[in-house]
Amino acid sequence: MSRFQKPYTHWWLSLCSIGLVVCIIYAAVVAAQTKGAPKELKLGFVDFFSGSAAIFGVSGKNAAELLVEKWNKEGGIKGVPVKMVEVDENGGPDKQVTEYRRLVLDEKVDAIVGYTSSANCLAIAPLAEELQTLTVVHICGTRRLTEENKLKYVFRTSNHQVADSVMAARYVLAVKPELKTVAGANEDYAWGRDSWDDFKAALLQLKPDVHIVGEVWTKIQAGEYSAEISKLLSLKPEVVHSTFWGGGLVTFVKQAAARELFKNSLVILPVLEQSFQDLKNETPEGVIALPRATAGYFLYPDPQSHPLQKEFVEAYKARFGRYPDYPAYRTYQAFAGLKAAYEKAMDQAGRWPKTEEVMKAFEDLTWQTPIGPVTMRADHQAVHAGIVGLSKMSPQFGFAIMAQLKEMAVDQIMPPVGIKSTDWLKTLK
Amino acid sequence: MAARPWLLAVPIVAGLFVAAPFVAPSWILFILHLALAKFLVVLAVALFLRGGLVSFGHALFYAVGAYTAGFAAKWFGVREALLLVPLAGLFGAAVAAVIGLFMARYRGVFFAMLNLAVSMILYAILLKFYWLTGGTDGLRVQTPTLLGFVPPRDLIRMTSYYVALVVAGVMTYVVYRFLASPLGYYLKALADNEIRIEYSGESVQRVIYATYVLSGALGGLGGVLAAFTVGHIVPEYAFWTQSGEFVFVALLGGYGSVPGPLIGAIAFEFIRTYANKYAPYAWQMTLGIIMLLIILLQPGGLWAMYESVVARFSRRAEGVERA
Amino acid sequence: MALLTIVILDGFVFAAVLFLSVGLTLIFGVLRILNISHGGIYALGAYLGTYLALKVLDLGLSPYLTYVMLLVGAVIIGVITGPLLERLFLRRVYGQAEAIQLLLTFSILLILDDLIKLIWGTAPLMVSTPSTLLGHVSFAGITYTWYHFLLIGISIVFGGALVWLVRGTRFGKIVVSVINDREISIAVGINVNRIYTLAFTLGALCAALGGAAVAPTIAVAPGFAVEVGVQSFAVIAIGGMGSLEGAALGALLVGLVRALAIHTFPELELVVIYVLMLIVLMVKPEGLFGEVELRRI
């Protein structure tokens, strides 16, 4: 009897103790995960993955995937893994409105990050308010997004185009103080229109005797610019300002360079930095180039002395074979800001926060990125510094980089909270 | 037994549509709502297809209707459904009345091309006059108010849906009566032999013109309803590929009947949404292949397929074995 | 004066539309079908030409070979899609309702569009070597690339060759007879089916050549052919559907008018093309060089 019972007793004992240990571990794991936390944080990511703007959107996608994977390896945001649902921004604002609805109602995402095109972010902003979904706009530049509406659910984590225009105006006058004639070549939608208007306003405020000799307007990502280039050549301006971007900009630069536009005029291209690696050695020298008004690019701040920058640049290059460009940095800014907001809200609430708590935590938040700090304001517009320079071929890299770099501080380039850009530009010094 | 299924089918279908907001998830409701709006324009195109004419320009009326709502919101701040819906139909009919005057003289490919030209002119105007029309940015259209009241938050979309349902129902009846009238029969005869219509004393121009005005009103109504449901309109509403989509749906559903376009519109919206979700870069191909199969195998569209299935079963039921 | 020269030169650079329209009008003339998928064949030609040219550059071969590759790419596309589309699809809808024919070609366009995305991906392809290799030249104070003039030259030569083919050779006379009366042509012993296939292939070849020729000046991305496609409809409607000379004149007119608008009233750039089309169609519905269609009872 005893010989039979002993194994039985041992068996039950072992089972119970194992069960107890398992329960303890389980309880510990559950406690480590925040109380009331969802199974996963589902984020929608919207950018251009097809069409002429794809070379632009792919950078953002790469940065997003890099970051999300890194976070999930570390356990997610306070223990909750992040799942990304990617949606193509190609196809026009009405398609984007439908896709936004689908992300919220069908995919049931917790928040949406994205929107490069100014037309699209203006279209989805009212929808975000209607569907009460936290939306973080990462790149879209039109100032109208944050100035014309009081935003509740929408946040923009990077400077808007007023900063680009003001930096361009200040820099061109520093390079060419006796400037007389300027022409514009821009795309006929919110981005192109607002950027050109603000550039003109800033320039004329800083130097009222400049003469605007002409402007050409093209469709978004038009791809064919011969007639427009002919017109620019015939106007013979000293300076040409153009906010073409992505595939359209690459085509424009190639077509214009072949016809010596860059020899005849000093050209300002606020979005040129993104195209450096696509143009390779076809980038003309001495073009005023910006990564829009972003606080840095892959060489500035110097990765060797800034660990966060070094980590990001090296990881990005190793994985994708390219150096991160400004869409990659702005995507980093957006995701890092969102994560910081969630963490701050969680610390304040002591459990997984509701959307409204995250929104509240996001306001007046400052977070770190590889190129410096970003601060979100109460009007849901974030601000940071910006850099500008002249394009110069680099034999080391095989594409152009920025030379004669100048960094401009926030108060020099972005209007303060509560002041409309159009009014602020009139007071520029 | 032949007449009865009708009496049973209509209330059932109507009942399903009326019950939709309560049983269907919001995303499905959105698709249904959009399908109802586009159904009207497809109906307009189907009318012409019955008459043997293809119109590749009905996006013109669709855009006219949509931008009626858009401009009303932008310049006058008006978003009243009971005002904008009839207004859009009226504008659509008015534009059709003007254009129909010379359009009625053309047939075949020239009819298609002229329609295309006029709709592309509207597209070009909407696109280029940025400060007037918003250009490619488009215009925002808020969900409409009803009799001046803004519906409570959770009922807003449901109200909009019912407005669309009522309009669709009314216009279905109107088209049904039109097709049953002498003009409607002459329209069908147009596809067979135009000369005989003239010999029998009716003016072909009149038939085409009347159809054109009706289709213009339908297009305008479809446009304004679509604007209300999507909430954002763009100049591409007048682009020729939008017209192509309407003709596509008309053939998909079957243009020989009134329910055909409805089935086609619903099928198209569902196929497009889910093909887009699972294969974002192959959904056009999916639609193209489906279309090819329909053209090559069953040009009568989905409705004809349904009818042939029903016919097979009713033959069986009557106990007649056909070889 | 300088403006006029600029406008004329810009107008001539519209060679792409010319190629496309000539092929389209040929197909319509012979088959009486408006081939909406023409823009898709144009895009295919551009993609394959660019792809082959890029391969040649990757292999480090002479950059002048890129011109050859563009031609080869276009010919491959023309010779493959032509007979394939005509035999497999178009042949089944001859004589059917117009709506069905138009929709068939529309569906083919949709399929070709996505086929391109599946084969070459969604990112744009760019090869600028062919257009920059020959250098640039100044004219009326504006710099143009020699490649632009090469394009003009090629399109004129090609257009002339096509006209000679149709008017001067036996094959051309057979095609004209098929255009005029199909039944009599069959009665006389002409293999009409083969003529149809050949005509469609020729039209497809034109489109593919147009795409490949233009590709070095732009970024080839999905959807780039949509605008040009619909402009080619306008061109053949203006010039007369079925008339080669009409297509050439129409392309020239549309190009000039568009260039003039860009330089003077940019807002009207797109409107003028379709207004022109409308006016021509209202005044002379069959187009400038088109033949009046008799109503057959």
B61-105 confidence digits (pLDDT tens): 999 999 999 999 999 988 898 999 999 999 999 999 999 998 888
pLDDT of residue B2: 47
Mean pLDDT of A112-133: 93
pLDDT of residue A343: 94
Mean pLDDT of A277-295: 92
- Give the start-to-end residue ranges of the domains of chain C: 2-283
To the question of domain C2-283 being in CATH 1.10.3470, the answer is yes
Subunits in contact with chain A (3 or more CB pairs closer than 8 Å): B, C
Of B30, B137, B231, the CB nearest to A190: B137
pLDDT of residue B303: 83
Q: How many CB pairs below 8 Å do chains A and C form together? A: 87
Contact C124 A55 (CB under 8 A): yes
pLDDT of residue A388: 95
Q: Is A210:A179 a contact under the CB 8 Å cutoff? A: yes
Contact status of C4 with chain A (Cβ, < 8 Å): no
- How far, in Å, CA of A327 to CA of A139, rounded? 7
Q: Token pair 């559907």 is at which residue?
A: C241
Of C92, C110, C226, the CB nearest to B284: C110
Mean pLDDT of A131-159: 93
Assign domain A162-301+385-425 one CATH number from 3.90.1150.10, 3.30.2320.50, 3.10.105.10, 3.40.50.2300: 3.40.50.2300
Which distant-in-sequence residues (6+ apart) come within 8 Å of B184 by Cβ? B178
Of C102, C110, C278, the CB nearest to B121: C278
Of C114, C267, C278, the CB nearest to B281: C114
Which range, B43-57, B277-291, C145-159, is most confident? B43-57
Q: How many CB pairs below 8 Å do chains A and B form together? A: 62
Of C96, C114, C267, the CB nearest to B128: C267
Of C13, C223, C262, the CB nearest to A231: C262
Contact A189 B231 (CB under 8 A): no
Of C117, C145, C259, the CB nearest to A227: C259
H or E element, residue B269? helix B259-278
Task: Compute the nearest-CA separation of A7 from chain B (Å).
Answer: 57
Contact B231 A122 (CB under 8 A): no
Q: pLDDT per residue over B213-270, tens digit each?
A: 999 999 999 999 999 999 999 999 999 999 999 999 999 998 888 889 999 999 999 9
Which chain B residue has its CA at the smallest distance from C90's CA?
B296
Round the average pLDDT of chain C to a whole number and report it.
86
Q: Which residue has the higher pLDDT, B161 or C282?
A: B161
Instruction: Give yes or no for residue B120 having a pLDDT over 60.
Output: yes
Task: Compute the nearest-CA separation of B241 from chain A (Å).
Answer: 13
Instruction: Give yes or no for residue A298 having a pLDDT over 80.
Output: yes
- How far, in Å, CA of B288 to CA of C117, rounded? 15
Among A residues 265-284, those touching chain C with beta carbons less than 8 Å apart:
282
CA A305 to chain centre: 24
pTM: 0.89
- Give the start-to-end residue ranges of the domains of chain A: 1-32, 42-160+303-381, 162-301+385-425
Contact B120 C103 (CB under 8 A): no
Instruction: Give yes or no for residue A187 having a pLDDT over 50.
Output: yes
pLDDT of residue A7: 45
End-to-end CA distance of chain B: 23
- How far, in Å, CA of C88 to CA of B292, rounded? 11
- Which of chain B's residues have a Cβ under 8 Å away from the Cβ of A93? 136-138, 232, 234
Round the average pLDDT of chain B to a whole number and report it.
88
- How far, in Å, CA of C263 to CA of B135, rounded? 20
Query: Could you tell me which CATH number the domain at A42-160+303-381 has?
Result: 3.40.50.2300
C142-145 and A382-383 strand pairing: unpaired
Contact status of C50 with chain A (Cβ, < 8 Å): no
Which chain B residue has its CA at the smallest distance from C120's CA?
B281
Least confident of A22-26, A93-97, A244-248, C226-230: A22-26
Contact C103 B296 (CB under 8 A): no
Give residue A5's pLDDT band: very low, low, confident or very high (50, 70, 90).
very low
Which distant-in-sequence residues (6+ apart) come within 8 Å of B298 by Cβ? B304, B305
Q: pLDDT per residue over C6-42, tens digit each?
A: 777 776 667 667 777 888 888 888 888 889 999 999 9
- Which of chain B's residues have a Cβ under 8 Å away from the Cβ of A94? 138, 230, 232-234, 236-237
Instruction: Give yes or no for residue A1 having a pLDDT over 50.
Output: no
Q: Is A263:A287 a contact under the CB 8 Å cutoff? A: no
Which distant-in-sequence residues (6+ apart) come within 8 Å of B25 by Cβ? A105
Task: Compute the nearest-CA separation of A308 from chain C (Å).
Answer: 30
pLDDT of residue B1: 43
Among A residues 94-123, those touching chain C with beta carbons less than 8 Å apart:
none
- How far, in Å, CA of C133 to CA of B102, rounded? 51
Subunits in contact with chain C (3 or more CB pairs closer than 8 Å): A, B
Of A224, A231, A259, the CB nearest to C144: A259
pLDDT of residue A11: 54
- Which of chain A's residues have a Cβ under 8 Å away from the Cβ of B232? 93-94, 97, 123
Give backbone dihedrals phi and psi of C142, rounded to 5 degrees, phi first.
Answer: -115, 145
Contact C136 A259 (CB under 8 A): yes
Residue type at position C47: Y
Contact status of A248 with chain C (Cβ, < 8 Å): yes
Of A50, A94, A122, the CB nearest to B281: A50
Contact C275 B121 (CB under 8 A): yes
The SS3 call for residue A265 is coil
- Which of chain A's residues have a Cβ under 8 Å away from the Cβ of C122? 49-51, 54
ipTM of the complex: 0.86
Interface test with C, best of B42, B49, B119, B121 (most C CBs within 10 A): B121
pLDDT of residue C146: 87
Interface test with C, best of B131, B132, B295, B296 (most C CBs within 10 A): B295
Q: Is C223:C172 a contact under the CB 8 Å cutoff? A: no
Contact A54 C144 (CB under 8 A): no
Which range, B14-18, B30-34, C215-219, C253-257, is most confident? B30-34
Q: How far is CA C61 from CA A280, C64, C146, C213, in A?
A: 20, 8, 22, 20
pLDDT of residue B59: 96
Task: Compute the nearest-CA separation of C102 from chain B (Å).
Answer: 9
- Which of chain B's residues have a Cβ under 8 Å away from the Cβ of A50? 281
Task: Compute the nearest-CA separation of A96 from chain B (Å).
Answer: 9
Give residue A4's pLDDT band: very low, low, confident or very high (50, 70, 90).
very low
pLDDT of residue A174: 94
Q: Is C37:C85 a contact under the CB 8 Å cutoff? A: yes
Contact status of C142 with chain A (Cβ, < 8 Å): yes
- Which of chain C's residues have a Cβ under 8 Å away from the Cβ of B282? 114, 117-118
Contact status of A195 with chain B (Cβ, < 8 Å): no
Q: What strands, in cross-sheet order, belong to the sheet with A372-376?
A: A366-369, A372-376, A382-383
pLDDT of residue A25: 53
Task: Compute the nearest-CA separation of C137 from chain A (Å).
Answer: 8
Mean pLDDT of A251-271: 92
Instruction: Give yes or no for residue B9 having a pLDDT over 80.
Output: no
In which region does residue A377 sit, left (phi positive, over 0), alpha (psi from -120 to 50) or beta (all else)?
Answer: beta
Mean pLDDT of A351-364: 92
User: Of A293, A291, A315, A314, which is closest to residue A304 (Cα–Cα)?
Assistant: A314
Among A residues 214-273, those touching chain B with beta carbons less than 8 Å apart:
217, 219-220
Domains A42-160+303-381 and A162-301+385-425 share a fold: yes
Complete DSSP assignment for B137-193? G-EE-PPPBBTTBPPPGGGHHHHHHHHHHHHHHHHHHHHHHHHHSHHHHHHHHHHH-
Instruction: Give yes or no for residue A20 having a pLDDT over 80.
Output: no
Contact C107 B296 (CB under 8 A): no
